Structure 1
């Protein structure tokens, strides 16, 4: 079963913001449509287009009478508006009409002006006389016609005036009521045409800006996550900063810090227990060794001494784990060749007693490394002790140091199979369950090397036995 990928917060925000913006625009358009429905506006654009189509079609015959030619533009307009009608009058009273003209418009212009409810009177564009508004309104004095304007000349304008007027005409039934069945599809199309470009523009803007805003807002969280990724057993006391973390994420970071603190306290208690137990074991082990040495030299007493030695070595390795807790400030510059020579000298009696020839190959000159000396000494001791325990009980064990900062411990035993060369670094892992070792030496040595910016690996080659190499960063000479 495939693991489900976690959701991306920024794309969730993008989708939801786009949907929210679309919903807000839809509500806004709906409110505007409701307001227009209540105001009952009328759309005059088509009427203005009718006048524009008629202008080029109006002419006079040879006898001077008015005539309207059926131009291509006028024909196309009639096809678009089959119910269009018009009346063309001149100053002499001549007129030409077409279509089903309402009776109110067939009278004289003066009678028409007296019959309209309200209208806007506009003069020529170059005429400085202002436009005016005319309305036939009922008053206490009875029905009157009011003509008014806000200025007496266009020169009195404030510099720039913008007048926006929109009128919508809804289809009506014969009784004058609105025919919404015919009007709603067209109204929906108009709303979609108006709404879609706005949604697209706002959606693209959101798509571009939201990821940048989210990345900037969560930059502190990214830094905190990078610091969390660097936490390991040696930096368990680290606390993640919450200063640049978003307020909504801060409780999670604080809970994580508290968890780290609890884990550190628990690890310290566990570590102190192991250390105290190892210290307490050393005294009874020493007493037991002393008493075993007083026994007669028999096979059983020899095996008992070996078991006591194994137990003592295990207690020492548990104590060696304390070396891993020492900070990097305890590093110092040491001569790796001299350090390895001292370890080889310390283990020479034990190796000879176990049946080996222990040799040391020094480097051509001094090899200086900046390390925790006591830790590296214990790591080398574990490598040599591992060779003594698993080298087959014969042949030579060699400790070799080179100028690059490498130390090799070689034996002539059965070696380590290639498929087991990583497993042997696991704690308490042993190739032979009945072997004398506890399975901690190589694991401890690798941890120490890592704490000192080095590494340990098992070399491959055609030689006999095993070769374990510890590589440390050598200082330039």
Structure 2
């Protein structure tokens, strides 16, 4: 079955932000175009505004001569543009002039400009002569041409001049109506040319900045996830912090903390039950052992003593599980050789009684490890007890310590099949259902080794019997 890959929230946000920005920009342009289409505005620059102000002031006197009244609009415009000048001409050749008119505009422009509806007259950038605007307009005096500008020279500028010019001419049919079939493709290309750079810039900016912003926003969540990954059986009461977690994720963290608390409580109740049960069993087991030892030496009484011993060993292993909850601050640095020799001395009588010889091989150099002494001692004791129970009842059981922080327990029994090397570490798993062991010793030893960042494994080789090696980190 193909593993489903989780989606990256960061890149989902990036993609959606880019699409949202592009859609927002497109909607804004469409709405702006619609508003301009409905309003049909006309943007006037200064020279065109001068013509518009003069237009309402053009009239004729009682003799039919062309005059320009001093209207309020024209007076206000002159106040804002004191250098304004203009020439008003009608079709009969009459004209009215005002202001400091440059010589080039005082000439007759000929028939072309005389027939023009509107025109902008300008010169090269190095020429100081100003730009002017010409427009044929309808006034009280009839149709006239007005030529106007707000200054007589480019020297009169305020220091910065910005000219923006845009002309849009839509294809038309013979009757003068707009031909949109021809205009729309070109208009679409123009819009794409205008929009594409904006979309690319916005998309690139979003692509570069959003991941950093998202990572920074999720920094608290990432740290909380790292802390959650460090939770194990020894830190089951730990609670994840919610201070730096995003508000949307906080309910999930609270629910996780509550689940941890319930699991810790359940584990503690279960552990207390096992401990209490094991303690309660010790007294009746001791009474049974005493009474069985008083029986006559018969095969049935010997088997009864073995069964009682097995039951006593199981109760002890249940009590040993209490050791897993010992805090880490009870660790101290010891010589592994000393611990191994002490366990060998404790189990020598039991091994000899079961028919074995017990040998101890110390490390050639000091093997210093930082451990909870009681836990490691019980782990090693379970390995030795396992060898006594399953070593075949003969041969030599060897406890060997080396300078690499390793302890090996070897026997000369039937050994453990390779395919069972991992299974035997499971709780209550036994190779032979009728064996004396309870199936907890190796599991307890592995858990203790893991608590000390160590390992425990069954070695494979051509030798006879089983070799189980526990290795702990060495302190220099």
- Is TM more than 0.5 here? yes
Q: 1:169 to 1:400 in 2, by over 3 A?
A: same
The answer to whether structure 1 residue 255 and structure 2 residue 255 are counterparts is yes
The answer to whether structure 1 residue 419 and structure 2 residue 413 are counterparts is no
**How well do the aligned residues superpose, as a CA RMSD in angstroms?**
2.8
Distance 1:359 1:180 in 2: 104
Match of residue 443 from structure 2: 443
Moved more, 258-267 or 387-396: 258-267
Distance 1:430 1:339 in 2: 28
Distance 1:336 1:126 in 2: 96
Match of residue 191 from structure 2: 191
Cα deviations by residue, 1:115-160 (Å, 9 ceiling, x for unpaired):
6655434356555443334445556777665554333432221211
Q: 1:110 to 1:37 in 2, by over 3 A?
A: farther
Structure 1 gaps, min length 5: 43-107
Cα deviations by residue, 1:38-89 (Å, 9 ceiling, x for unpaired):
46699xxxxxxxxxxxxxxxxxxxxxxxxxxxxxxxxxxxxxxxxxxxxxxx
The answer to whether structure 1 residue 240 and structure 2 residue 234 are counterparts is no
Q: 1:294 to 1:182 in 2, by over 3 A?
A: same
Moved more, 162-171 or 332-341: 332-341
**8 Å Cα contact 1:282/1:315 also seen in 2:** yes
Distance 1:474 1:196 in 2: 64
The answer to whether structure 1 residue 383 and structure 2 residue 383 are counterparts is yes
Q: 1:148 to 1:269 in 2, by over 3 A?
A: farther
**8 Å Cα contact 1:41/1:167 also seen in 2:** no
Per the TM alignment, residue 403 of structure 1 is displaced from its structure 2 partner at its CA by 3.3
1:77-92 aligned within 5 A? none
Per the TM alignment, residue 386 of structure 1 is displaced from its structure 2 partner at its CA by 0.4
Match of residue 204 from structure 1: 204
SS in 1 for 2:120: strand
Q: 1:223 to 1:385 in 2, by over 3 A?
A: same
**8 Å Cα contact 1:41/1:166 also seen in 2:** no
Per the TM alignment, residue 35 of structure 1 is displaced from its structure 2 partner at its CA by 4.8
Cα deviations by residue, 1:265-314 (Å, 9 ceiling, x for unpaired):
22222212221221122122222222222333322222222222111111
Distance 2:363 2:154 in 1: 105
Per the TM alignment, residue 430 of structure 1 is displaced from its structure 2 partner at its CA by 0.8
Match of residue 344 from structure 2: 344
Per the TM alignment, residue 321 of structure 1 is displaced from its structure 2 partner at its CA by 0.7
Cα deviations by residue, 1:378-429 (Å, 9 ceiling, x for unpaired):
1111011101110111222222223333222121111111111121111111
Distance 1:126 1:422 in 2: 92
1:101-250 aligned within 5 A? 118-122=118-122, 125-137=125-137, 146-250=146-250
Per the TM alignment, residue 260 of structure 1 is displaced from its structure 2 partner at its CA by 2.0
Moved more, 253-262 or 435-444: 253-262
Match of residue 301 from structure 2: 301
SS in 2 for 1:165: coil
Moved more, 458-467 or 435-444: 458-467
Distance 1:40 1:114 in 2: 28
**8 Å Cα contact 1:367/1:405 also seen in 2:** yes
Distance 1:30 1:142 in 2: 41
Distance 2:178 2:37 in 1: 10
Q: How many residues align?
A: 411
**8 Å Cα contact 1:236/1:264 also seen in 2:** yes
Q: 1:131 to 1:295 in 2, by over 3 A?
A: same
Moved more, 167-176 or 217-226: 217-226
**8 Å Cα contact 1:348/1:358 also seen in 2:** yes
Match of residue 452 from structure 2: 452
Structure 2 gaps, min length 5: 43-107
SS in 2 for 1:438: coil
Moved more, 234-243 or 379-388: 234-243
**8 Å Cα contact 1:363/1:402 also seen in 2:** yes
Moved more, 246-255 or 263-272: 246-255
Per the TM alignment, residue 206 of structure 1 is displaced from its structure 2 partner at its CA by 2.9
Moved more, 410-419 or 194-203: 194-203
Distance 1:125 1:470 in 2: 91
Match of residue 282 from structure 2: 282
Match of residue 400 from structure 2: 400
Per the TM alignment, residue 338 of structure 1 is displaced from its structure 2 partner at its CA by 2.6
Distance 1:187 1:454 in 2: 74
Distance 2:297 2:231 in 1: 53
Per the TM alignment, residue 30 of structure 1 is displaced from its structure 2 partner at its CA by 2.3
Distance 2:222 2:330 in 1: 32
Cα deviations by residue, 1:175-216 (Å, 9 ceiling, x for unpaired):
332222222122112212222333233333333333333333
Per the TM alignment, residue 245 of structure 1 is displaced from its structure 2 partner at its CA by 3.2
Distance 1:369 1:126 in 2: 90
**TM-score of the superposed pair, with normalisation by structure 2:** 0.78
SS in 1 for 2:170: coil
